[in-house]
């Protein structure tokens, strides 16, 4: 069983949704990102998506774009991404890489898969790679025991969903909205319908991302999804903090709020809703 499958199986056994956090490597620094990600895990995040910063982040909203830009200005390289993964896994935190495809091609598909496996990574999420062009990555993933995770969207047809999920392992990443990433006041109503449609084609767990900002929303999503994926809200905690220590504290507070939400699996009344450190 892969570490990814283990995360979802444990969450299901506990009667809750899995909580997955995202953070770009190198933000606010390489060591700072590691400290932040470990704090996320200690506060209740089950698995971390380590972002590989890229100069043309097509689906990333302004919050993640700002973080990625800062990481790139700081000189982050793919080797730093792999070191981040290795550090997290050494700390007992399952980790995947989330990346656009061009940096992997530039690195070398087989070489990147080999080095990711050597770092202890569990797999890779590739939002701009389609199954028809994924042959080299799928072969490398098989060779090195990695989980390939692809993204489906509300616009995906039934035929397309079947094609995408047929090449997924670990879980299916369901984008709850069309457009770019970012925390939102209301998670798209299309998300639950998309999850139901995905489940017509696979028994793999389904994680929902793009939009969750606090424990109330996490509880709502965990009612119908196997996993809740949070990125922009965590990144905003760091962007809004005066220093790393404050950022770590803010991230830990948000992670605890989200972890409570995925365990409740029912939205709290507004008066009782826990506050989040993220403003969206």
* Distance from C-alpha of 165 to C-alpha of 160, rounded to nearest angstrom: 9
**Of 9, 14, 49, 80, catalytic:** 49
Do 57 and 266 touch, CB atoms closer than 8 A? no
Residue-wise pLDDT tens for the chain (280 aa)?
899 999 999 999 999 999 999 999 999 999 999 999 999 999 999 999 999 999 876 667 889 999 999 999 999 999 999 999 999 999 999 999 999 999 999 999 999 999 999 999 999 999 999 999 999 999 999 999 999 999 999 989 999 999 999 999 999 999 976 333 434 444 556 889 999 999 999 999 999 987 799 999 999 999 999 999 999 999 999 999 999 999 999 999 999 999 999 998 665 444 443 333 332 3
* Distance from C-alpha of 216 to C-alpha of 184, rounded to nearest angstrom: 12
CATH class of 3-272: alpha beta
Instruction: Name every residue whose Cβ is closer than 8 Å to that of residue 205 and which is 6 or more positions away in sequence.
Output: 5, 8, 12, 18, 170, 171, 172, 226, 227
Whether 9 sits among the annotated catalytic residues: the reply is: no
pLDDT at position 231: 94
Per-residue pLDDT of 199-239, as tens digits, reads 999 999 999 987 799 999 999 999 999 999 999 999 999 99
pLDDT at position 178: 38
Tell me the domain boundaries of the chain: 3-272
**Of 46, 60, 115, 214, catalytic:** 60
Whether 60 sits among the annotated catalytic residues: the reply is: yes
Q: Centre a 10 Å sphere on the Cβ of residue 128 and count the other Cβ atoms it contains.
A: 15
pTM score, whole prediction: 0.90
pLDDT at position 261: 96
pLDDT at position 182: 39
Q: Is 262 helix (H, G, I), strand (E, B) or coil?
A: helix
Distances (CA, A) of 185 to 73, 233, 276, 278, 279: 31, 11, 12, 11, 9
For residue 58, give both structure tokens: 């097509």
């Amino acid at each position: 069983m892969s570490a990814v499958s283990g995360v979802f199986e444990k969450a299901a056994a506990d009667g809750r949704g899995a909580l997955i956090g995202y953070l770009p490597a190198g933000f606010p620094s390489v060591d700072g990102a590691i400290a932040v990600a470990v704090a996320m895990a200690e506060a209740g995040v089950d698995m971390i998506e380590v972002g590989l910063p890229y100069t043309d982040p097509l689906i990333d909203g302004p919050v993640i774009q700002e973080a990625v830009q800062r990481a790139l200005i700081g000189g982050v390289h793919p080797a730093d991404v792999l070191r981040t993964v290795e550090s997290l896994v050494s700390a007992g935190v399952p980790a995947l890489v989330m990346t656009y495809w061009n940096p992997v091609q530039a690195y070398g598909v087989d070489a990147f898969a080999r080095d990711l496996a050597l770092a202890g990574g569990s797999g890779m999420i590739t939002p701009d790679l389609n199954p028809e062009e994924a042959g080299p990555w799928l072969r490398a993933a098989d060779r090195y025991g990695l989980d390939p995770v692809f993204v489906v969207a509300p616009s995906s047809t039934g035929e397309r969903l079947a094609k995408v999920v047929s090449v997924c392992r670990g879980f299916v990443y369901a984008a709850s909205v069309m457009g770019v990433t970012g925390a939102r006041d209301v998670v798209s109503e299309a998300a639950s319908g998309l999850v139901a449609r995905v489940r017509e084609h696979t028994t793999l767990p389904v994680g929902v991302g793009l939009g969750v900002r606090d424990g109330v929303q996490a509880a709502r999503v965990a009612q119908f999804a196997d996993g809740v994926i949070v990125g922009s809200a965590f990144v905003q905690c760091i962007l809004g903090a005066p220093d790393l220590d404050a950022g770590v504290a803010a991230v830990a507070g948000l992670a605890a709020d989200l972890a409570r939400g995925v365990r409740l699996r029912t939205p709290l009344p507004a008066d009782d809703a826990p506050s989040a450190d993220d403003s969206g």
